[in-house]
Amino acid sequence: MSLEKITDPRRMRHWLGHMETDYRYTLGIAGERFLNEIKENARIMGARCKRCGVIYVPPKMYCEECFEKLEEWIDLGTRGEVYTYTIAYVDMDGNRLAEPVIYALITFGDAYGGLIHKLGEVKPEEVWIGMPVEAVFKPPQERKGSITDIKYFKPAQ
């Protein structure tokens, strides 16, 4: 095989192509209801399995464990806890971000799973695993039924 060490791939004879395709992803049965609750009522919901008792967040249409259809929805409030977090210093291309961004996995009591989201109103060095946080929602007129209707989670008072 070729033993040449190539650091600049543009030096090799090549053809430039792209796979440009756009997609429209439906939110789904559970996803639409979950995000609609955030949009209309600024509340985070879980779905409880009546057979296993497991509460899923984000809610699903079915229980992964027993395949029961999930019909009972529970208001989990807007407060959770930092389960783990990272401080991102670079973007997709490896370029330094102007300001680091804190991403966390936030859990809600005994519910199974959690939400990943940004943390705000807090400095990287002030975050800790186990820290109570609460959701900060965009104003109602700006909410579109997206996970970004939650601006970020901030330290809970």
Partner 1 sequence: MFGKKRVAIVGAGLTLFRRNLKETGKELAYEASKMALDAAGMELSDIQSVVMGTAPDAFDGVHMKGEYLADGAGARNKPYVRVYVGGGTGVFTPLAGWWHVASGQFDTCLVVCEEKMSSCFPHPAYAFTTIFDNILARPLGTTLIWIFALEMHRYMHKHNIKKEQIARVAVKNKRNALDHPCAQLAANITVEDVLNSEIMCWPVQRLDISPTSDGAAALVLASEDVAKKVTDNPVWIDGVGWCIDSTIWTNRDLYYPDYVEYAARMAYKMAGIKNPPKEIDLAEPYDPFDYKELHHMEGLLLCRKGEAPKLTEEGVTARDGDLPICPSGGLLGVGNPIAAAGAMKVCEVFWQLRGEAGKRQVPGDPRTGVAQAWGDLMQYGSVIVLRR
Q: With respect to partner 1, which residue has the nearer C-beta, 1 or 98?
A: 1
DSSP structure string for 30-58: HHHHHHHHHHHH---EEEE-TTT--EEES
Measured CA to CA, the distance from residue 58 to residue 60 in angstroms comes to: 7
Residues 26 and 47: their CA atoms lie apart, in Å, by 19
Three-state secondary-structure class, residue 10? helix
Q: Which of residues 96-135 bind partner 1 (CB under 8 A)?
A: 103-105, 112-118, 124, 129
Among 41, 68, 84, 126, binds partner 1 (CB under 8 A): 84
Position 80 contacts partner 1 (CB under 8 A): no
Sheet holding 45-48, edge to edge: 72-75, 45-48, 55-57, 112-113
Exactly one of 20, 22, 25, 139 binds partner 1 (CB under 8 A); that residue is 25
Residue placing its CB nearer to partner 1 in the complex, 5 or 157: 5
Comparing CB distances to partner 1, the nearer of 130 and 157 is 130
- Residues near partner 1, by CB under 8 A: 1-7, 9, 12, 17, 19, 23, 25, 27-28, 31, 35, 56, 58, 60, 64, 83-94, 103-105, 112-118, 124, 129, 146-148
